[in-house]
Amino acid sequence: MRITVTTGTCVGAGQCVLSAPDVFDQDDNGVVEVLDAEPGPAQAEQVRLAGQLCPSGSIAVTE
């Protein structure tokens, strides 16, 4: 599983941080920051949820 984010379109809702706190964070500007771009299977479900919940479509998850 691989995560790519588009920081330019991020609207800082924080849904990813709430869904997968070990994988996503927000930087000082409130913009998405990936802590682990290739998370293991234990995180897979949370990461998929983060991708679905992101309101601005800034998170792409490839399996």
Partner 1 sequence: MTDTEEQLVVDFPLRKPGEVFPPPRYEEYRHREGLVLSYLPDGKPVWLVTRHAAVREILTSKKISSNPDRPGFPNIGETMGVPRQDQIPGWFVGLDPPEHDRFRKALIPEFTVRRIRDMRPQIQDVVTRVVDGLLADGNRSADLINDFALPIPSLVISALLGVPKADREFFESRTRTLVNIRQSTDAQRDLASRELLRYINRLLEIKAKWPGDDLPSRLLQGGVLAPQELTGVLLLLLIAGHETTANNIGLGIVTLLENPQWIGDDRVVEELLRLHSVADLVSLRVAVEDVEICGQVIKAGEGIVPLVAAANHDDGVFACPHMFNPERSAKQHVAFGYGVHQCLGQNLVRVEMELAYRTLFERIPGLSLAAGPDGLPFKYDGVLHGLHELPVRW
Binding site for partner 1 (CB under 8 A): 11-15, 17-19, 26, 28-31, 49, 52-53, 55-57
Least Å distance between CB 17 and partner 1?
Answer: 4
List Cα–Cα distances, 57 to 11, 20, 24, 27, 37, in angstroms.
10, 16, 15, 18, 17
What is the nearest approach in angstroms of partner 1 to the Cβ of residue 54?
Answer: 9
Identity of the residue, 28 or 63, whose beta carbon is nearer to partner 1 in the bound complex: 28
User: Which residue has tokens 């802590």?
Assistant: 35
User: Least distance from C-beta 30 to partner 1, angstroms?
Assistant: 3
CA–CA distance, 52 with 29 (Å, rounded to integer): 22
